[in-house]
Amino acid sequence: MSRIELIQSGKHLNFGQLLRLTVKLSLPAMMAQLSSIMMQYIDASMVGRLGADDSAAVGLVSTSLWLFWGICSAVTMGFSVQVAHRVGAADYEDARRILRQAITACLLFSAIVVLIGAAISIPLPHWLGGTESVCPKASLYFLVFVLALPLLTMNYLAGGMLRCVGNMKVPGGLNVMMCVLDVIFNFFLIFPAHHFNLGGFVITLPGANLGVLGAALGTVMAEIITAGAMMWYLCTREKDIKLKGSAGSFRPTRPVLRRAVKVSAPMTLEHAVICGAQIAITVIVAPLGIMAIAANAFAVTAESLCYMPGYGIADAATTLVGQSYGAGRKDLARRFGYITTGLGMFTMSVMGVLMWIGAPWVMGLLSPVNEICALGVEALRIEAWAEPMFAASIVAYGVMIGVGDTIIPATMNFGSIWLVRLPLAALLAPRMGLSGVWLAMCIELSFRGAIFLWRLISGAWLKKTL
């Protein structure tokens, strides 16, 4: 039997079967997350070779970009969860109907977000405390990504839909392709022409020498190509929900939109508030100087390698719990919740140890500036202690999304960051510098993981329905 047939059959699954299903679904999802993280490493490493000002320009607006990307991604989840429930109930025609409506709704929403982002692109770096040497480059970098949001949203939607029907391999493979394309495009767009002497023959490779702008264009081009491939596969090849050969309206209906809003609205608000807090952290870090801004941005990028497995397992948790819930098997949904969260905590604990040991090498890869590396290493080694509990919050949240429970978890997320992390960071930064900001983050993530574990074990999340 396939995974979905095992869930739909009603048969009892032992611990070994549940763990195998979880690992089988998590590995491709982690690969997709890894490719996304590697793109951040590539951009940071390549831009880092241009100097501290260029690194600071990217770091200054990076949290604001996460805000815009995250809002669009959260909107797609409202439709993906509905599809997971319909697949669990073996109602594939209804799943296709939801997919059609999702394409229209997500494109319209992302177009509105583009207008807002473009309107604030010039003043934003100044609001964040950037210097005159940094702000123009930061504005341009931000604007390029914002203008591409509708196509990037289709990438999020297609990947989410494929994962929610249990197809982790295609999104994972295409995201690896995106990573390779990012390297190629960045190489030719960021730097000037390269000259190589091979046995007396000089070979010249062209280069646009666009710097920070080239980094943005290269990444966006890679993501657009991947989005096209992802949507093509979803609509023409994915056997359970492909749109090719089926008829139906793309006009959103009130019941589908209402259920999508019920899932997405708390997630969107939560992400907006969390990213708002991260932007506030950037404002707290800015007075510490360009070196601290760059080190903070690079450390955030480096630390993402630790939590990458957590988000991959969370994607698998959303699928497994959502399909189990759609099939009417709450007991199975609960067991998948426990197993995926435990697996996430174990995996990210290992990653935390590796990051503590490898922090100097990772920071050296991202920046050649000794002061930036030293500040980043200290930050990463503080953060490494929080990885197990950070995993608990990430995966448990994915579990709860699977049943459509988002309001209380979203409140827990943004309440924790605003009421714990921000006050502590503001208190510690003047006394401890960048290390104080990261110590505040470590304390807050440990607290957040504890409250998510409490809610997971209580079972209250299983009482929420769409």
pLDDT digits over 187-230, tens only?
898 888 877 777 667 777 788 888 888 888 998 999 899 999 99
**Gap between the Cα atoms of 326 and 348, Å rounded:** 29
DSSP, residue by residue, 319-383: HHHHHHHHTT-HHHHHHHHHHHHHHHHHHHHHHHHHHHHHHHHHHHHH---HHHHHHHHHHHHHH
Of 140-154, 273-287, 361-375, 420-434, where does mean pLDDT reach its minimum? 273-287
Instruction: Decide: helix, strand or coil at residue 196.
Output: strand
Residue 380 reports pLDDT greater than 80: yes
Residue 146 reports pLDDT greater than 90: yes
pTM of the predicted model as reported, rounded to 2 decimal places: 0.73
Instruction: Decide: helix, strand or coil at residue 202.
Output: strand
The token duo for 207 is: 């280069």
Mean pLDDT across 5-29: 70
Rg, the chain, Cα only: 22
For residue 171, which amino acid is it? P
Higher pLDDT, 124 or 200: 124
pLDDT digits (tens, 9 = 90+) for 441-460: 999 999 999 999 999 999 88
- Give me the helices (H) in 49-201, please: 52-88, 92-120, 124-127, 135-147, 149-164, 169-190
The residue extents of the domains of the chain are 3-463
Higher pLDDT, 300 or 231: 231
Q: Are 235 and 242 in contact (CB under 8 A)?
A: yes
At residue 32 the predicted structure's pLDDT band, cuts being 50, 70 and 90, is low
Of the candidates 357, 351, 356, 377, the one whose C-alpha atom is nearest the C-alpha of residue 366 is 377
- The dihedrals phi and psi of 175, each to the nearest 5 degrees, come to -70, -30
**Gap between the Cα atoms of 198 and 203, Å rounded:** 7
Q: Are 303 and 20 in contact (CB under 8 A)?
A: no
| Measured CA angle at 355 (ends 274, 299), to 5 deg | 45
| Measured CA angle at 68 (ends 271, 365), to 5 deg | 95
pLDDT at site 427: 92
Q: Are 4 and 323 in contact (CB under 8 A)?
A: yes
pLDDT at site 378: 92
pLDDT digits (tens, 9 = 90+) for 330-357: 888 899 999 999 999 999 999 999 999 9
pLDDT at site 111: 95
Of the candidates 385, 389, 377, the one whose C-alpha atom is nearest the C-alpha of residue 344 is 389
The whole-chain average pLDDT of the chain stands at 85
pLDDT at site 465: 62
pLDDT at site 309: 84
Residue 368 reports pLDDT greater than 80: no
At residue 34 the predicted structure's pLDDT band, cuts being 50, 70 and 90, is low
- The dihedrals phi and psi of 325, each to the nearest 5 degrees, come to -65, -40
pLDDT at site 39: 65
How many CB atoms sit inside 10 A of residue 391's CB? 31
pLDDT digits (tens, 9 = 90+) for 309-319: 888 888 888 88
**Gap between the Cα atoms of 4 and 129, Å rounded:** 51
For residue 423, which amino acid is it? P
Which run of H or of E encompasses 290?
Answer: helix 290-326
pLDDT digits (tens, 9 = 90+) for 319-333: 888 888 887 888 888
